[in-house]
Amino acid sequence: MKGVSLDISKMMETLRQASREIGVELDAAATGLFEDYARELLFWNSKMNLVSLKSPLDLPVKHFVDSLTAAECIGNRAGILLDMGSGAGLPGIPLKIVFPSLRITLLDSSRKKTSFLRAVLRRLELPGVTVVNGRAEMLLNEKAWRGRFDIVISRAAFKLPEYIRLGSGFLAPGGILIAMKGPGFEPELEESLPLLRKGEMKFSAEREIRLPLTGDFRKILIFQRA
């Protein structure tokens, strides 16, 4: 993080501005939660590799606002959301902050990262959030996990064919799977076509985004379970 400004107040100002540009208005309570989240993340990131921080825009824009680009896809949909490969809690924690009614499970196979997530949740005191240390393919062997979620989301933690194959098992009928991707996703989508032809999952919608201030390209792909 050498050379990266750790001025939290400036980060929060950037976060509010950039969030507004993607149609997400953060009130004082939400901003306060993001500030606590940022402090905790920066502290832990100095000890373990959670997120890449190469510029002052990375945390507020490339991580927090990037996570919030999925907000439009979720809307006011109340329900249960699974964040697969949550890592530092992205996108699950930012989405929980702006949609308090969502019940969220943060799933990651790294014990260190799930320890971080539990520490963050103790600090933020967010209700309705569960942290699970485990692998998706193992959890799907347990009946209680199959068909349990209304929304499954992942922020570039899996290649698309694997994500569709695993994520679909967690979805209730009619549930949606949201894939957050950057440039070069097309070959993954092509590889996914045989899975989609089986009929259990269908391609539903897509959204193309340029992140505010950085201009980074993002693609959100949405699939729905029959």
What Å distances lie between residue 128 and 93, 125, 132, 145, CA to CA? 11, 10, 13, 17
The answer to whether the CB of 177 falls within 8 A of the CB of 222 is: yes
Residue 3 has pLDDT above 50, yes or no: no
SS3 label, residue 108: strand
pLDDT at 198: 87
Q: How far apart are CA 137 and CA 93, in angstroms?
A: 23
Residue 187 has pLDDT above 80, yes or no: yes
The answer to whether the CB of 88 falls within 8 A of the CB of 61 is: no
Q: What is the mean pLDDT of residues 92-113?
A: 96
Q: What global pTM score does this model have? A: 0.94
Comparing 28-42, 87-101, 131-145, 180-194, the range with the smallest average pLDDT is 180-194
What's the pLDDT tens digit per position in 38-87? 999 999 998 998 998 999 999 999 999 999 999 999 876 668 999 999 99
Q: What is the mean pLDDT of residues 4-33?
A: 93
pLDDT at 67: 98
SS3 label, residue 122: helix
What's the pLDDT tens digit per position in 149-185? 999 999 978 999 999 999 999 999 999 999 999 998 9
User: Between the CA atoms of 119, 141, 103 and 182, what dihedral angle is there, to the nearest 10 degrees?
Assistant: 80
Class of domain 8-225: alpha beta
